[in-house]
Structure 1
Amino acid sequence: MVDLHQEFQSSGFFHEARIDRRSADALVGVAAGLAADGKINQQEAEFLKTWIETHLVHLSDPVVNILYKRLAEMLSDGVLDSDESVELLGMLHQFAGLPVGSIQTFTAPNALPFDNPFPTLSWTDRVFLFTGVMAYGPRKECELRVTERGGLIGGAVSKKIHYLVVGSIGNDQWLHSTYGTKIKKAVELRGSGIPIAIISEDHWQKVLFG
């Protein structure tokens, strides 16, 4: 699915980013299939690593990078131990947007991009940006709760943003193929050393209500 030899660069139908995205979309199905029986073994983990290396050579997607980097760390000693197996299973369910033991029903947003552990939140002069559907209510109401506490609201993902808050209401738009350009940009900035935190609405609400 990746144009390794760049044979189609001159074609008007070729677009490397689109090919990478199709491969990333296919990875959702691979992840769901491997996790369907509720366990991941050594052979499946090695297959997944090889699949990503083969089909996503460019690894331009930051969320795929998070998954791949951790998978490579798990297999660096040649053994997938029981704790790593459980962790990988959870990551695959998160990546595919699936509850454990099911490949049919979509659940909460992909949690892979979130800061782990979640950071301590400050309000005064901190810049917040919201994305997704908020369980708390309309985005304007969420923004008001921030400004009431001395925080600021950003207009777009940039180096000026301190916190990107991801809405907790899951829907089919949160499948990996459309998890959102805001999150992708934030992950890229965070990876380059910019201190932007990606947090869940649940964490935001816990701090909000103390």
Structure 2
Amino acid sequence: MDTFSTETLSMQVLMGILEGISCDGKITLQELDTLKQWMDDNMHLKGNYPFDTIFCSINRVIEDRVVTSDESRELIGLFNEFLSPIKAKNVTYLNLSGKKVCLTGNFINGTKGEIERLIITNGGETISGVTKKTNIVVVGGEGSKEWSYGNFGTKVKKAMELKSNGIDIEIIREEDLFNLIKMNDSA
């Protein structure tokens, strides 16, 4: 049986709260007050992406006790970055040549070993973990039941943390990888 740490379980609760707050496309002061109270009660998450970013953003917004439509849109965008980091992307600007690529999840188009060989054949290098030197994280189309955050796991979370700190790292879907390879084959 899979068990998650207290930190991971708390982050899962935070995800649920953010989904609930943003599901109607607008954010109220009451919702932010409730979120702030929960975050105040869960300061053990301080230093854990995206806790600090969200905490600072909501404190800035509720300071004047008014949530403008621009602030609501900004917060929904911030929440969605955390809730759904894996979106379809136009990868025409990407090139695998010389790139360090990390795979996560289970893949539809082959085993991880087969996907790794495909990346190497197309000039990339595969690595097992996400670091500052990682260029691309490819998320398998089947996902994984072991992902800590439901729709993504610790490798994607680490990539999001690095990205938020200015590291140039792309998170793409398996489908995007295959579109990129097809595009490069036809060039």
Q: Decide whether the 8 Å contact of 1:113 with 1:187 is kept in 2.
A: no
Structure 1 residues 163, 62: closer, same or farther in 2, change over 3 A? same
* Structure 2 unmatched ranges of 5 or more: none
Structure 1 residues 161, 35: closer, same or farther in 2, change over 3 A? closer
Give the drift of 1:125. 1.4
Distance 2:161 2:22 in 1: 27
Give the drift of 1:128. 0.8
Matching of residue 53 in structure 1 with residue 53 in structure 2: no
Structure 1 residues 44, 176: closer, same or farther in 2, change over 3 A? same
Counterparts of 1:94-173 in structure 2, within 5 Å, are 110-112=83-85, 120-170=93-143, 172-173=145-146
TM-score (normalised: structure 1): 0.61
Q: Decide whether the 8 Å contact of 2:90 with 2:176 is kept in 1.
A: no
Give the drift of 1:177. 6.7
Q: List per-residue Cα deviations over 1:163-204 (Å, max 9, x = no partner).
A: 111223356544627842322333344445543333333433
> Could you say which residue in structure 2 is the equivalent of 1:27?
14
TM-score (normalised: structure 2): 0.67
Q: Which has the higher helix share?
A: 2
Deviates more, 1:86-95 or 1:26-35: 86-95
Deviates more, 1:130-139 or 1:25-34: 25-34
Give the drift of 1:77. 6.5
Q: Decide whether the 8 Å contact of 2:45 with 2:51 is kept in 1.
A: no
Question: Counterpart of 1:25 in structure 2: which amino acid?
Answer: Q
Distance 2:96 2:147 in 1: 28
Aligned residues: 179
Question: Counterpart of 2:160 in structure 1: which amino acid?
Answer: V
Distance 2:166 2:60 in 1: 21
Matching of residue 187 in structure 1 with residue 152 in structure 2: no
Structure 1 residues 50, 142: closer, same or farther in 2, change over 3 A? same
Percent same amino acid at aligned positions? 30
Give the drift of 1:89. 4.7
Structure 1 residues 112, 42: closer, same or farther in 2, change over 3 A? farther
> Could you say which residue in structure 2 is the equivalent of 1:81?
68
Distance 2:114 2:182 in 1: 14
Question: Counterpart of 1:51 in structure 2: which amino acid?
Answer: W
Q: Decide whether the 8 Å contact of 1:131 with 1:182 is kept in 2.
A: yes
Distance 2:50 2:91 in 1: 17
